[in-house]
């Protein structure tokens, strides 16, 4: 289903699936031209949807800042020119004033929620982490790199915005800020659902709460949908195994892939682990393309 070069979107956040795109899309059997939609209730950075670029999609996240930013790219409100001018100006202020300017932008964003400020924080915060406090305010500290927005780095970000805009152009994509029950209720038998929920047992303080009860509720709801689905999940690392997989996803086939995270709030959350893709029987390929011999198992 995917044989192209993986590209990276402009928004960074922990858990981004850039290196797993060939593994994920290589294990999905779904015809994007048969009239159905690609549905993601947990859009995050959008890396999977943007690389697939299906004709029709329903993309959602509870993080309104992510949805607002990509809506602006979709409408053309944010494009290469606007991002270039903004990042050059703010980057120069960051170079001059260092962390003082970062915290000025963070405060401004928490008051106004401007999408370009969100982009700036995503690329200038500590270790690419996206985290909010209980009041919904972005609270990640500065990355300690006042020279962050060098000319080449700004060009890279603007190229990523250009690419995302091109991937969305001419397509029927709906971007909404909503929780997963609402999105799953809109799915039909011709749609394909890809879920990348917050991982149980790996709390990163991303945007809002996520616990075992909600994870189990998601599993129950996804298993009742009429169409096909794939769900990303962690299976095990050197310390422990994820019991949620057996408890809530038992009986379904999955493929595994060893992966190392480079983005996260702590070294503990950036260690190697086995990622899995849980797939409804009948929608998986014999082997994941572009991945090193992933194991084929049943939970």
Residue 235 lies in a domain: yes
180 and 267 share one domain: yes
Asked whether 244 and 215 are in contact (CB, 8 A), the reply is yes
Calculate the CA dihedral of residues 288, 240, 217, 58 and round it to 10 degrees.
-40
37 and 125 share one domain: no
- Into how many domains does the chain fold? 2
Using DSSP bridges, classify how beta strands 228-237 and 253-260 pair: parallel, antiparallel or unpaired.
Answer: unpaired
Out of 112, 132, 165, a domain closes at 165
104 and 250 share one domain: no
Residue 13 lies in a domain: no
Residue 132 lies in a domain: yes
Residue 10 lies in a domain: no
Which residue(s) pair with 273 in the sheet?
A: 237, 259
Annotate 165-214 with DSSP letters as a single string: HHHHTTSEEEEEE--HHHHHTT--TT-EEEE-PPPTT-----SS---HHH
C-alpha–C-alpha distance, residues 16 and 131, integer Å = 14
144 and 51 share one domain: no
Structural domain boundaries enclosing 112: 74-165
pLDDT tens, per residue, the chain with 299 residues: 676 899 999 999 888 899 999 999 999 989 888 899 999 999 999 999 999 999 999 999 999 999 999 999 999 999 999 999 999 999 999 999 999 999 999 999 999 999 999 999 999 999 989 999 999 999 999 999 999 999 999 999 999 999 999 999 999 999 999 999 999 999 999 999 999 999 886 555 555 668 889 999 999 999 999 999 999 999 988 778 899 999 999 999 999 998 765 554 544 555 678 999 999 843 443 333 334 434 556 66
C-alpha–C-alpha distance, residues 49 and 67, integer Å = 13
Query: pLDDT at position 75, please?
Result: 98
185 and 273 share one domain: yes
pTM above 0.95, yes or no: no
Which residue(s) pair with 60 in the sheet?
A: 176
Out of 120, 143, 165, a domain closes at 165
For the domain that residue 144 is a member of, what is the CATH number? Answer: 1.10.1020.10
Out of 165, 195, 221, a domain closes at 165
159 and 201 share one domain: no
């Amino acid at each position: 289903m995917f044989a192209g070069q993986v590209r990276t979107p402009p928004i960074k956040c922990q858990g981004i699936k850039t290196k797993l795109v060939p593994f994920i899309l290589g294990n999905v059997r779904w015809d994007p031209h048969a009239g159905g939609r690609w549905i993601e209730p947990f859009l995050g950075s959008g890396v999977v949807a943007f690389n697939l670029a299906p004709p029709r999609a329903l993309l959602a996240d509870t993080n309104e800042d992510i949805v607002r930013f990509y809506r602006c790219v979709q409408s053309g409100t944010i494009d290469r020119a606007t991002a270039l001018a903004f990042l050059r100006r703010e980057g120069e202020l960051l170079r001059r004033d260092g962390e003082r300017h970062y915290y000025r932008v963070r405060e401004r964003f928490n008051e106004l929620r401007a999408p370009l400020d969100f982009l700036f924080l995503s690329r200038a915060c500590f270790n690419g982490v996206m985290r909010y406090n209980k009041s919904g305010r972005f609270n990640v500290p500065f990355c300690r790199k006042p020279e962050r927005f060098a000319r080449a780095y700004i060009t890279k970000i603007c190229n990523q915005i250009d690419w995302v805009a091109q991937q969305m152009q001419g397509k029927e994509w709906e971007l909404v800020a909503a929780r997963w029950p609402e999105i799953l209720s809109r799915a039909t038998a011709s749609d394909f659902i890809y879920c990348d929920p917050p991982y149980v047992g790996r709390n990163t303080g991303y945007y809002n709460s996520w616990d075992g009860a909600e994870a189990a509720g998601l599993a129950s709801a996804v298993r009742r949908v009429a169409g096909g689905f794939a769900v990303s999940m962690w299976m095990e690392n050197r310390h422990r195994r994820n019991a949620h997989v057996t408890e809530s996803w038992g009986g379904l086939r999955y493929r595994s892939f060893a992966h190392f995270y480079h983005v996260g709030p702590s070294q503990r959350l950036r260690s190697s682990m086995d990622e899995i893709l849980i797939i409804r029987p009948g929608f998986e390929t014999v082997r994941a393309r572009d991945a090193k011999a992933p194991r084929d198992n049943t939970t």
